[in-house]
Structure 1
Amino acid sequence: MSPEPRTIVITGASSGIGRKAAVALAEGVATIAVVGRNPERTKAVAEEVGGTAFLVDFDHLASVRRLAEELLETYPRIDALANNAGGLVSTREITADGFERTLQSNHLAPFLLTRLLLPRLVESGGRVVSTSSAANLLGRVRLDDLNWAKRPWFGGWGAYGASKMLTIQFIQQLARRSSVKAFSFHPGLVKTNFGSESASMKVMNVLSGGNYGISADAGAVPLIQLVGPTTIGVASGTYFDQLKPNGLSGPQAKNEPLAEAVWERTSELVGLPAEL
Structure 2
Amino acid sequence: MTALKIAVAGASGRMGKMLVEAISNADDMVLVGALDVPASPALGTDAAASLGKPAGVSITADLATGLANASYLIDFTRPEGTLKHLEYCAAHGIKMIIGTTGFDEAGKAAIAAAAEKTAIVFAPNMSVGVNVTLKLLEMAAKSFAEGYDIEIVEAHHRFKVDAPSGTALKMGEVIADALGRDLNEVGVFAREGVTGERDPSSIGFATIRGGDIVGDHTVLFAGIGERVEISHKSSSRVTYAHGSLRAARFLEGKSVGLFDMYDVLGLR
Structure 2 residue ranges without an equivalent (≥5):
131-153, 166-205, 217-232
State the partner residue of 1:114: 86
> Does residue 186 of the first structure (1) align with residue 127 of the second (2)?
no
Q: Which digits, 9 at most, give the CA deviation of each residue in 1:238-266, with x for residues without a partner?
A: 2336965789xxxxxxxxxxxxxxxxxxx
> Does residue 84 of the first structure (1) align with residue 76 of the second (2)?
yes
Letter in 2 for 1:39: P
More helix by share: 1
Counterpart-to-counterpart distance in 1, 2:156 and 2:123: 17
Q: Which digits, 9 at most, give the CA deviation of each residue in 1:117-172, with x for residues without a partner?
A: 4444x2xxx42121244xxxxxxxxxxxxxxxxxxxxxxxxxx3xx2544443332
> Does residue 174 of the first structure (1) align with residue 179 of the second (2)?
no
2:6 and 2:30 in contact (8 A); partners too:
yes
State the partner residue of 1:39: 41
State the partner residue of 2:16: 18
C-alpha RMSD of the superposition: 4.2
More strand by share: 2
Q: How far 1:173 moved relative to its partner?
A: 1.4
Change (3 A) 1:241 1:173: same
Q: Which digits, 9 at most, give the CA deviation of each residue in 1:197-245, with x for residues without a partner?
A: 98x9995326x98884412111223222112466489x82123369657
Letter in 2 for 1:84: F
Change (3 A) 1:244 1:190: farther
State the partner residue of 1:227: 248
Counterpart-to-counterpart distance in 2, 1:115 and 1:20: 25
Residue 39 of structure 1: SS of its match in structure 2?
Answer: coil
1:186 and 1:241 in contact (8 A); partners too:
no
Counterpart-to-counterpart distance in 2, 1:119 and 1:71: 15
Residue 121 of structure 2: SS of its match in structure 1?
Answer: strand
Counterpart-to-counterpart distance in 1, 2:155 and 2:16: 12
> Does residue 68 of the first structure (1) align with residue 86 of the second (2)?
no
Counterpart-to-counterpart distance in 1, 2:157 and 2:249: 23
Q: 2:160 aligns with which of 183, 192, 195?
A: 195
State the partner residue of 2:133: none
Counterpart-to-counterpart distance in 1, 2:8 and 2:105: 21
State the partner residue of 2:223: none
State the partner residue of 2:239: 218
Counterpart-to-counterpart distance in 1, 2:248 and 2:66: 18
1:81 and 1:129 in contact (8 A); partners too:
yes
Q: 2:99 aligns with which of 106, 131, 147?
A: 131
Letter in 2 for 1:13: A
Letter in 2 for 1:112: K
Change (3 A) 1:210 1:230: closer
Change (3 A) 1:209 1:11: closer
Counterpart-to-counterpart distance in 1, 2:215 and 2:259: 31
Letter in 1 for 2:248: V
Structure 1 residue ranges without an equivalent (≥5):
57-66, 87-105, 134-159, 248-276
Query: Percent of aligned pairs with the same residue?
Result: 10
Letter in 2 for 1:78: A
1:34 and 1:42 in contact (8 A); partners too:
no
